[in-house]
Structure 1
Amino acid sequence: MARKKIIKDDGSSLSRTTPHNKKIKIHNKSDVPDNIVEKQNDMIKKCLSIEAQLPDFLFDYFLYLKNSVALSTRLAYLSDLLFYCNYLINESPLMAEYEFKTPKDIPLELFSKITARDVNLFIGDFCTRYIVETENADYIMENHNRALARKKSSISVLFKFLYRDQLIESNITEGFNPIKLPKPQPDAIKRLEIEEVAMMLDTVENGTGLTDKEKQYWEKTKYRDKAILVLFTTYGLRVSEVQQLNLSSINYARGEFKIYRKRSKEANMPLNKSALAVIEDYIKLERPPCIEDGDPLFLSLQGRRMTVRTLRELVKKYTAIAMQAPRHAGYSPHKLRATAASSLIQYGFSIYDVQNLLDHDNVTTTQLYSAHKKDAKRDVVNNYELLDEYHKKDSNSKKN
């Protein structure tokens, strides 16, 4: 068998879409901003594109995903399924008696022959390291346990559904090998210290540590960049939540702004003085004219909504300077989310309040940041001097 080579097909070529020269207009009667609706529509088109490439007997499974999981999860599961089907065609020995060449042609008969061992080989052997071929280059892809667990989950959901709907005779998922995930360690959480946050904000205010070329852009974006960093470190927002903010998201009368969480959950976040001040400075002093539909809050110099990638690069640059590290070693926006969680708990806020602010599903996630207080180990050890305690008890016993 050829060694672990597969052609990537992520559904990027969209089917069931309007012609490229036809503009999509949104007829929106809900409170959800048009940019959120448009993003969801793009994800739905990707889902439909992938479904069009998969076997027709999976139609009920597509319907199940559509109505039972979040849109992002649906897209992830479908992408993994298409990847698995391409693997069956290109790599699996089960293909010996078949001649079809596309995932669309795979019959239910083949799925009924798949065993737990076949899936274990796919997850444990093939997925750990394979090659993705593109027109420009071949990429070696390596997956560790967290990524393997995601692929295993996608395959498990599929085969459980096929068994439930009596399309296959046995529940092979019971024979899938377990994947051990490392427990999160509080000491390993990457975050900025309070002093580093101060240095980061000093950099965005004064340009300290920026190169001459970076300062040229900084002169035009410093108010915007400061507002973005303050929102990340105050509220622990996800990068998509910042990227999707609009001018209309801010309710000045109520002193709050609305964000859209994962799974399309709405949340109103109170504006404190710091956040309100940096947003107003940006809007009044620096925000360029918008040249696209809608009212995005954070704009590029070209007047378009900032992309997630641009936000990541912005955060990486400023955090690298704060940590006095090379640019490539800067942190992602998610590390500023960790910074916000740890800082809030360090300042004495309740774990449950922080959980609510950051939208953690489980309080145990928030507790990881609670355990990661600055110098926590040092404080414990310094406040418990074993020999001092021993001498006190020894002295008391002699007196008695």
Structure 2
Amino acid sequence: MESKNFKIHNKSSKPDNIVKSENELINKCLSIEAQLPDFMRDYFIFLKNSISLSSRHAYLNDIVFFCKYLISNTNITTAGTTKEISVEEFNRIKARDVNRFIGDYCSRYLINKTDTTVVMENHNRALARKKSSLVSLFKFLYRDEIIKKNITDGFNPIKLPKPQPDAIKKLEIDEVAIMLDAVEKGIGLTEKEKQYWEKTKLRDKAILILLTTYGLRLNELHQLNISSFNFNRGEFKIYRKRGKEVNMPLNQSVEKVIKTYLKEERPNPESISEEHRDALFLSLQKRRMSKLSIRKLVKKYTSIALDTTRESGYSPHKLRATAASSLIQYGFSIYDVQNLLDHDNVTTTQLYAAHKKNVKREIVKNFEWLEE
């Protein structure tokens, strides 16, 4: 749907920009569904009502990719397009066919483009997601008696590495200070970067403070509007995964950087198009900042803190890890941090607690039974 013809009739509590982005993702899902066989129609309804929109999109992508594989790399179907695959042909699929797809084909395959060939590699985490998509599909088709056998018990297991605290990438507290010093004074920036920094330093600082204080996900920060903030109540609203609406409390530091940015640097509302007028963080073109622009901004300033190349700087998700470990180092309980960061499981938060260096040594050192 062309944006010039797109109008929002929004009666929900969600801001228009979120409704619009969700609608764009729904249209992508519908486009993929249109490429798949009609006997999967009830499965599409199942996905729509049982998982998040982003997961639905990911599952559909995996399934259409599997169907393309059936056509190009197997003798299971004679269909010319994924839409033409018949239910009888799907009934011929055995567990070993899926195992070959996931374990052999998906681990490394080629995509031929006009002037180059791209090598695609998937490690176990990505393969496990593809397996999960197909397990969901085949179990549903069996449950609804569309296929005759439940072949999912024969799918090979995929071992995922156990998360290790030492492998978590994050900034230390002193590195956060270096990063914030860089955004305030332009230290470590090239001459070209300083030209942009002069125009965006208050915006950039507000973004980094929000990420390191609350551990916001990239999507949560990207969706923020001016109307998300209620300074009288000292809070702002974000939308978590699965559409969960949450009010976050403002502290003095965050309130100060947001107000300073709005007052001293953000363009006059009258000069901004209606579509982007409520967006909190704007590009120099006076449009809502893209997720890619935010990623590049974060990598730039974290690379200065880490004294490394721009390419080796950290992603916004690493600042989420930074927020979690910093809060725990300051003495907050893992349950409070779990609640703030919206971790589904407290074991995720416990990984950051393990970063308290030498904590066992300090405990034992200060707990002597015998006096000298």
Alignment TM-score > 0.5, same fold: yes
Q: Which position in structure 1 is the counterpart of 2:248?
A: 269
* Of 162, 167, 176, the match for 1:188: 167
Which letter maps to 1:110? E
Q: Distance in 2 between matches of 1:94 and 1:178?
A: 23
Displacement, 1:135? Answer: 3.0
Q: Which position in structure 1 is the counterpart of 2:17?
A: 35
Correspondence 1:178 to 2:160: no
* Of 164, 177, 200, the match for 1:221: 200
Displacement, 1:134? Answer: 2.7
Q: Distance in 1 between matches of 2:353 and 2:59?
A: 33
Q: Distance in 2 between matches of 1:370 and 1:150?
A: 27
Correspondence 1:372 to 2:355: yes
Correspondence 1:62 to 2:44: yes
Displacement, 1:378? Answer: 5.9
Which letter maps to 2:218? V
Q: Distance in 2 between matches of 1:112 and 1:355?
A: 44
Correspondence 1:25 to 2:7: yes
Q: Which position in structure 2 is the counterpart of 1:300?
A: 283
3-state DSSP class of the match of 1:318? helix
Q: Distance in 2 between matches of 1:317 and 1:183?
A: 30
Greater mean deviation of Cα atoms: 291-300 or 139-148: 291-300
TM-score (norm 1): 0.89
Q: How does 1:253-264 map to 2 (within 5 A)?
A: 253-264=232-243
Runs of 4+ in 1 over 6 A off after TM superposition: none
3-state DSSP class of the match of 1:93? coil
Q: Distance in 1 between matches of 2:336 and 2:227?
A: 26
Q: Which position in structure 1 is the counterpart of 2:296?
A: 313
Q: Distance in 2 between matches of 1:360 and 1:72?
A: 17
Unmatched segments (≥5 aa) in structure 1: 1-17, 396-400
Q: Residues 269-327 of structure 1, C-alpha deviation per residue, up to 9 Å, x if partnerless?
A: 00000000000110001012423415000000110000000000000000000011111
3-state DSSP class of the match of 1:190? coil
Q: How does 1:38-49 map to 2 (within 5 A)?
A: 38-49=20-31
* Corresponding residue pairs, total: 368
Correspondence 1:208 to 2:190: no
In the superposition, relative to structure 1, how do residues 21 and 206 fare at CA in structure 2: closer, same or farther (>3 Å)? closer
Displacement, 1:195? Answer: 0.3
Q: Distance in 1 between matches of 2:356 and 2:27?
A: 44
Which letter maps to 1:85? C
Q: Distance in 1 between matches of 2:260 and 2:366?
A: 49
Unmatched segments (≥5 aa) in structure 2: none
Q: Distance in 1 between matches of 2:230 and 2:164?
A: 39
Q: Distance in 2 between matches of 1:123 and 1:32?
A: 38
Correspondence 1:92 to 2:98: no
CA contact (8 A) 1:123 1:152 kept: yes
> Identity of aligned pairs, percent?
66
Displacement, 1:140? Answer: 0.4
Two-structure CA RMSD over aligned residues (Å): 1.8
* Of 119, 122, 126, the match for 1:140: 119
Greater mean deviation of Cα atoms: 148-157 or 370-379: 370-379
Which letter maps to 1:222? K
In the superposition, relative to structure 1, how do residues 136 and 279 fare at CA in structure 2: closer, same or farther (>3 Å)? farther
Q: Distance in 2 between matches of 1:133 and 1:31?
A: 45
Displacement, 1:30? Answer: 1.3
Q: Residues 171-201 of structure 1, C-alpha deviation per residue, up to 9 Å, x if partnerless?
A: 1000000000000001111000000000000
